[in-house]
Structure 1
Amino acid sequence: MLEEYKRIRSSIMGEIGSLKDLFLHINREDPVTALQDVEKKLLENRFHLVVIGQFKRGKSTFINSIIGEKLLPTSVVPLTSIITILRYGDKQRINVILNDGSNVEIKREELTDWVTEEGNPRNEKNVKEVEIYYPSDYLKDGICLIDTPGVGSIFQNNTEVTYGYLSKIDAAIFLVSADPPISQSELSFLNDVRDHVEKLFFVLNKIDYLDEDELEESLRFTKKTIEDALDMEDSTIYPISAKLALQGRIKKDDSLIRKSRIKEFYHVLNDFLLRAKGQIVLKKAISDIRSILAKEEMAFELESKAISAPLGMLEDKIKKFTEKMQDIRQDKEDTYYYFEGEIKRVIDILDRDLARLKESSIKRLLGYADELGRSYSDRPASQYAKDIEAAIDQEIIEIFDEWIIKEEERLNKEYFRVSKRFSERTNEIIDAILDLSEDLFDIKIDRVRVDEQIERDSSFYYMLGEPPKFFGVESAFDFFSKRLFPARLSKGLALRDLKKKVPEKVDKTCGRVRWDFMDRIKRSFMDFRWELNKKIEETEENITKAISRAMELRKKSAKEIEKAEKDLLKILNDIRYFKKRMENISLQLPERI
C-alpha cells in the first residue's frame, strides 16, 4: 500500500513537472508559481498523529516502542509536561521552541531538563513545544508523532497544554491501561477529543500486568465503558504492552514483540496512515492542480472566443462586463460589511461572557479571601498578607485558565459559523463573475469551489496558545515590617485591604484577556478576509487579462490572428489533455489508497 501511495504521488509530481514546462513555454508565470506551491505541499506534507490520555498510561514508552529506542524520557511519576513532536530528519536534532518565538537547540541528554515536570516545573522556562528530528522510517513521508502531557495529573498546567493542542490533531491514539481501569476524567477528556479528530484508536496498555482472564475482563470493561460514554455501537480496543514491545525492539527479540501483542495494532495503524493520510494528501494536490487547470482553461477559452468575435461586438461585450462588475464589486463590499458585523457580534459574546465571569469570580474570590483569613490566622503578621495575596493570585490564575479553555472553544464555534457563511457567499460572488463571463462570451467554465471555511488548525488556532501572564501583585502592607499595629488588628486591616483589591485584580485580568482574544479574533478575520478577497480578485483578473490579450490581438493582421487562434487551440487541447490525466489519477484513489 505504501508503494501504491508513492506511485500515485510520483505520477502527480510528473504531471506537475510537465505542466510547469508547458506554462513556462508560453510565459505564464502565475500557474507555474501555483504549481510550485502544490509541489512543495505534496513533498512537505505533515500528518499529526497524537498520543493522548491520562497521566501515567505509558504514552512516552508507547512512542519509544514505535521508534524502537528510548528516545523520550519515561518515569514512575507523571513526567511529560511539554508537547513533544517527533519528525523525520536525516540525523538526530532537538529544537526547543519558546513562547517568545525563539529557538534553542539542545543535546539529547538535556531533553529531560526541558520537557519534564521535574526539569521544567510549571513550564518556568516558557517552552511552547519541542521538536525532535530523528532518522526513523516510521516518520518518513510527513508523519509526525506527538507526545502530550497527561490529563488529570496533579499538575494542572499539563492538562491545559494537552487540551490546548487538540485542534492540531489529524488522528489520535487514546491510551488507557489495564491497571488502574479507565477513569471518569479520561472519559470526559475522550468526549472532548472526539470533537477534534476524524479517527480515534483505543489502545489498552500494560497488559503484561494481567493474566488472560484479567485481560479479558479488562477489555470487556474498557470497551463497554467507552461505548457507553461516547454512545458508540461498537469499538475496537487493541491490547498491548508498550514496555515489552520496546524491549523487544531494542533487543531484537521477536518473542518479546509477540508477547507485547503490538504487531496487530501496528498493522491497523499503518494501514490507516497509508489510506487516510495518502488520500488527504493526494486528493488535495489533485484538487489544487485541477483548480489551476480550470482557471487557465477559462482564460484561454475566453481569449479564443474573444479573438474570433468582431471588434465592435467585442468592445460591446467588454463594456457590459465592466458595468456588471461594478454591481458585483458592490455586492462584495456589502458582504465584507456583513462579515465585519458578525465578527463584532462574536466580540459582543466575549464581552458578555467576561462580564459574567467578572461578577462571579469577584464573589468567589471575596469568599475565598475570608476563608484564607480564617485558615491563616495563626501565621505571623509579616507572612499573613503575603500568603493570602499569593493564594488569591493563584486562584485568579486557575479561574481564568479554566474559563479561557471553555471560552476559546465557544468562540471557535461561533467564528467557524461566521467564516463558513462568508466562504459560501464568496463562492456565490465568484459564480456571478463566471456566470457573467459565460453569458457574454458563450463559453463553459469549470466551477472549482472555494473551500476556505476556517479550519481549527489554521484559523483560530493561535487562540489556543499560552494563557495570559498574570503579573505579581504589589505588596500594600509596608506597615507590617514596622510593627505599628497589634497583630490581630493589622491582620484585619490587611485582609480588608486585600479584599478591596480583588475587583481591581479581576478587572485588570479581564482587560488583558479581552485584549488577547480581540487581537487574535481581528487577526483571524483579516487573514481570512484577505484570502477570500484574493480569490475573488484573481477570478476577475484572469478574465480581464484574457479579454485584454484578445483586444491586443484583434488589432493585429489577419495572418497574425489566424496564428494566434491556432496557438490558443493547441494550448487548450494541452490543458484538456492534462485535465483528463488528473481525472484518471483521481479515479484511482478510492480503490487503491
Structure 2
Amino acid sequence: MNEQTLFQAKEILKEIHAVCEDFRLDSLKKVVQSVHNFTDQRQYLDIAVLGQFKAGKSSFLNGYLQQALLPVGSIPVTSVITRIGFGPREKATVTFRDGTSKIIPTDEIEKYVSESKNPENKENVMRVDIEVPSLNKMKEIRLVDTPGIGSVWKHNTETTSNWFPETGAVLFVLSAEKPISEHELNLFKEISLYSPEIALVITKTDLFQEEQVEEIASFTRKALKEVFARDVTILRYSAYINTSAYNKQVEKDIFLPLARNRRETYLKILHHKIETVVHSCLSYLNISYQASLKKEAEKNKLKEIIFDEHLNAHFIRQELLAIMGSYKEKTRESVKIYLDSFRKDIEKRITKEYETAFPGWKGNLDRVTRQFEKWLNQSLDTEFKGLLLEEEKSFELLHAVKKHLSYYLKSFRERLSENLDRALGVQMKPEAWEISVGELKKPDISLSRSFDFHLELFWFFFPMFLYRRVFRRFFLSRIPYEIEKNLHRLTSDMNEKINQEIDHLMLQALTYINGELKTMEMLLSKNKGDSTSILKRMDHIKNRYHNLMI
C-alpha cells in the first residue's frame, strides 16, 4: 500500500475536519470521519452487499457460499453488519459495542444478527465476523451483509446508511420481483458518491421466464444509464436454479478482479471518497468566500433573496405540520381495515387448535379455566406476533411519509441552491439525506378473565363430568371476543405509534432544514476581512488534493 498516499489523504481529511469545526458543517464532519475510518482498512477490501430489505441479500450470500450461514425470511431479518472472509477453519466472532468479543458456533449466528432473535439489537452487537475456508481464492476481500435499507426498523436502515462513506466496493442487490424504483436510484446515487466500484445483481430470476428477465435487466440498465451516464455491470442470480453457474459468473466478473487488484482498487476508491468530501467542503467555503466580499448592506439584501418566504423556518414548519396532519388523519382507518382482513383466518386457526387442545385439559372447572386462559393467551400471542412481524401496513404508511419528506427536502435544497446562485453566483453541491424510520414497539397481548367472579370459591357447584360440554361451548364463544378485543387494541396501538413516528420523521426533516439554514447563516456572516483567509484555506485544500491525485 502507498503510505505516502495514505498520509496525504489523512492530512486532507484533517484539514477538512478543521473547516467543519470552524464553520459548523456537522453533516460533512460525519462523512469525513467515516472516510477517515476507511483509510485504516488496509488489510481487506470490503464488498458491501447493499439493497432494499427483501431484495435477497442474505440468500445471495448463502447461495454463493453454498451454506446457510445467514438468516433469511420474508421479513427484515438482518439487524447488524456481518462480514465474511477467508479463514483456515469455519469460525464466527461476535464483537459487542463495549469492545468485548466472543467466538460462537456458526449455527448460532442467527441469535445475534436476526431481528427475530435479537430484536432492536438488544444484545448490543456491533458486528459479526465469519471466517470460511471456501473463500481461499479471495483472501484479500470480505463480503459484507448489511441490514436492508427501507426497513421499518430505524436501527437497520441507520446501520447501513451511516456506513455508506466507509464502503469499499459495492454489490447492489435488486429483486426481479419489482422494477428498480426511484428510491433505489437515489440510493445508487448516494453510494456512487463514495465508491466508483459498483455492480448490480438481479436476484430471484427463477420466478420469471428468460425473456422476462431480459426485459427486467434491459429496463434496469436503461434507468441506471440515464442517472449515471455510464455502464454498470449487471448480473443475474438465483439461489435455487443454476446457482453454481451464477456463482462462477459473479466470481469471474466481480469478486476475483477486485481480489487480484485490491491495492489499486483500494486507492481508486480512496481517491473517489476524498474527491467527494473535497468538493463538498469547497462548495461550502465558496459560499462563505463570495459572501465575505460583499458589504454589510449588500449582505442583508442577499440574505433576503436567499432566505425568501418559502425558506423561512416558521413557514416550513407550518407547511410540514399541514402535510403530516393529512397523513395522520388516514392512519387509523387504514390500519383498522388492514388488520380486520386477518380476523377470519386467525379465528379459524385458533378454533381448530381449540378443538384439539380442549380434550387434554383435566381437573375441576377452576383448573380447566386456567388452562384455557393460558392456552388462549399463548395462541393469541403467537398469532399476533406472527402478524406483526409480517405486517406491511405500518411500513407502507411510513414509507409514503418518508418519500414525501425526502422529496420536500430535495425541493428545499434545490430552492436554496437556486437562491444562492441568483445572489452569489454559486451553487450548493447536491447531497443525499436519509430519513430513518424509528422502531415500532410491538404491543402485549391482553386477555380478559373468563369469569367475573372468584371461580376458585364456586367451582364445586359445576362438576365438570356434568357440565363439560356446556363449558366447552362457553370457552369456544370467548375466542371471537378475545380476537376482536386484541385487534381493536392493536389498531389503537399501531395508530398511536405510527402517528408518533410521523412526528419523529417530521422532526428529522426540520432538524436537517434548520441545520442547513444555520450553516448558511454562518457561511454568509463572514466579513470582508475573512475573505483572504477563506481563499487561502480553499487554495490549500485544492493544492493538497492536486498533489494527492498526481
Normalising by the smaller structure, the TM-score range is 0.5 to 0.7
- The equivalent residue for 2:511 is 530
Equivalent position of 1:181 in the other structure: none
Q: Quick one: which of 101, 115, 120 aligns to 2:110? A: 115
SS state at 2:341 partner = helix
Partner of 2:177: 191
2:144 paired residue number: 145
Give the equivalent residue in structure 1 for 2:384: 396
What is the Cα deviation at residue 105 of structure 1? 4.5
1:228 aligns with 2:224: no
Match of 2:436 in 1: 460
3-state DSSP class of the match of 1:297? helix
Mapped to 2, the partners of 1:298 and 1:434 lie a distance apart of 10
Task: Choose which of 419, 429, 433 in structure 2 pairs with 1:432.
Answer: 419
Task: Report the alpha carbon displacement of residue 354 of structure 1 after superposing the two structures with TM.
Answer: 0.9
* 2:147–2:159 contact (8 Å) kept in structure 1: no
Relative to structure 1, the CA distance from residue 580 to residue 495 in structure 2 (aligned partners, 3 Å threshold; closer, same or farther) is same
* Preserved contact between residue 48 and residue 146 of structure 1 (Cα < 8 Å): yes
Q: Is the 2:62–2:69 Cα contact (8 Å) retained in structure 1? A: yes
Counterpart of 1:509 (choices 490, 512, 523) is 490
Q: Distance in 1 between matches of 2:159 and 2:27?
A: 28
SS in 1 for 2:177: helix
Amino acid at match of 1:435: R
Q: TM-score with structure 1 length normalisation?
A: 0.59
Question: Alignment partner of 2:82: what SS?
Answer: strand
CA distance in structure 2 between the partners assigned to 1:123 and 1:396 by the alignment: 17
Q: 1:419 aligns with which of 406, 428, 432?
A: 406
Residue 304 of structure 1: how far off its partner (Å): 3.7
| Aligned mates of 1:121, 1:568 — CA distance in 2 | 52
Structure 1 residue 96, shift from structure 2 partner: 6.2
CA contact (8 A) 1:96 1:106 kept: yes
Find the structure with the greater CA-based Rg. Answer: 1
> 1:347 aligned to 2:343?
no
Structure 1 residues 232 and 537, CA gap change in structure 2 (3 angstroms): same
- State whether residues 73 and 112 of structure 1, in contact with CA within 8 Å, keep that contact through their aligned partners in structure 2: yes
Deviations 1:70-125 (A, max 9, x none): xx9699xxxx9765633599x9994466xxxx8695531456446259x9996288
Q: Give the aligned length.
A: 469
Shift of 1:240: 11
Taking structure 1 as reference, are residues 233 and 539 closer, same or farther at Cα in structure 2, changes over 3 Å only? closer
Kept after mapping to 2: 8 A contact 1:84/1:115:
no
Write the letter of the residue equivalent to 1:428.
R
Q: Give yes or no for contact 1:94–1:105 (8 Å, CA) kept in 2.
A: no
Query: Letter of the aligned partner of 1:232 in structure 2?
Result: I
Distance 1:501 1:281, change over 3 A: farther
Q: 2:36 matched to which residue of 1?
A: 43
> Please, what TM-score do these two structures have when normalized by structure 2?
0.63
**Percent of aligned positions that are identical:** 10
C-alpha separation in 2, matches of 1:362 and 1:425 = 44
Instruction: For 1:123, give the aligned amino acid.
Output: K
Q: 1:497 is matched by which residue type in structure 2?
A: R
- Counterpart of 1:286 (choices 267, 275, 281) is 275
The answer to whether the aligner puts 1:476 opposite 2:476 as a matched pair is no
SS in 2 for 1:145: strand
Distance 1:41 1:462 in 2: 23
Q: Distance in 2 between matches of 1:165 and 1:297?
A: 33
In the TM superposition, residue 42 of structure 1 has moved relative to its aligned partner by 0.9
* Rounded Cα–Cα distance in structure 2 between residues aligned with 1:282 and 1:427: 27
Find the aligned partners of 1:113 and 1:103 in 2 and give their Cα distance.
20
Contact kept in structure 2, 1:412 and 1:460, CA below 8 Å:
no
Instruction: Show CA shifts across 1:20-71 (max 9, x none).
Output: 78x79xxx83379887655422122586326998899794585599xxxxxx
Q: Is the aligned partner of 1:29 residue 2:15?
A: no
Rate the CA distance shift 1:415–1:397 in 2: closer, same or farther, 3 A: same
Determine whether 1:451 maps to 2:431: yes
Instruction: Show structure 1 runs of 5+ residues with no match.
Output: 66-71, 150-158, 175-186, 205-220, 246-257, 307-313, 439-443, 551-563, 589-593
Separation of aligned partners in 2, 1:530 and 1:460: 13
Conservation of the 8 A alpha-carbon contact between 1:301 and 1:572: no
Alignment of 1:321-360 (within 5 A): 328=309, 331-360=312-341
- C-alpha deviation, 1:424, in angstroms: 1.2
Residues 378, 468 of structure 1: alpha-carbon distance in 2 compared, 3 angstrom cutoff? same
Aligned runs of 1:88-127 on 2, under 5 Å?
Answer: 94-95=93-94, 105-109=100-104, 112-113=107-108, 115=110, 123=117
Counterpart for residue 297 of structure 1: 286
Aligned in 2, Cα 1:291/1:489: closer, same or farther, shift over 3 Å?
same
CA distance in 2, matches of 1:30, 1:532: 16
The 1:14–1:335 alpha-carbon spacing in structure 2 relative to 1, beyond 3 Å, is same
Query: Equivalents in 1 of 2:121, 2:106: separation in Å?
Result: 12
Verify the 8 A CA contact 2:202 2:236 in the aligned structure 1: yes
Distance 2:411 2:48 in 1: 28
Partner of 1:491: 472
Map 1:563-578 onto structure 2 (within 5 A).
568-569=531-532, 572=535, 575-576=538-539, 578=541
Residues 94, 107 of structure 1: 8 Å contact kept: yes
Deviation at 1:367, TM superposition (A): 4.9
Q: Which residue identity lines up with residue 333 of structure 2 in the other structure?
A: R
Separation of aligned partners in 2, 1:49 and 1:120: 16
Which amino acid letter does the alignment assign opposite residue 468 of structure 1?
K
Q: Deviations over 1:198-228 (max 9, x none)?
A: 5543699xxxxxxxxxxxxxxxx95974662
Which stretch of structure 1 is more off in the superposition, 512-521 or 121-130? 121-130
Q: How much has 1:493 moved relative to structure 2?
A: 1.5
Residue 132 (structure 1) aligned to one of 128, 138, 148: 128
CA distance in 1, matches of 2:301, 2:57: 67
Q: Quick one: which amino acid aligns to residue 470 of structure 1? A: D
- Say whether the 8 Å CA contact 1:42–1:282 is kept in structure 2: no
Q: Secondary structure of the equivalent of 2:128? A: strand
1:44 partner letter: N
CA deviations 1:358-390 (Å, max 9, x no partner) are 433445544555555555564437245544443
Q: Shift in Å at residue 527 of structure 1?
A: 2.1
Q: CA deviation at 1:192?
A: 5.5
Deviation at 1:356, TM superposition (A): 1.0
Output the CA distance in 2 between the equivalents of 1:317 and 1:361: 64
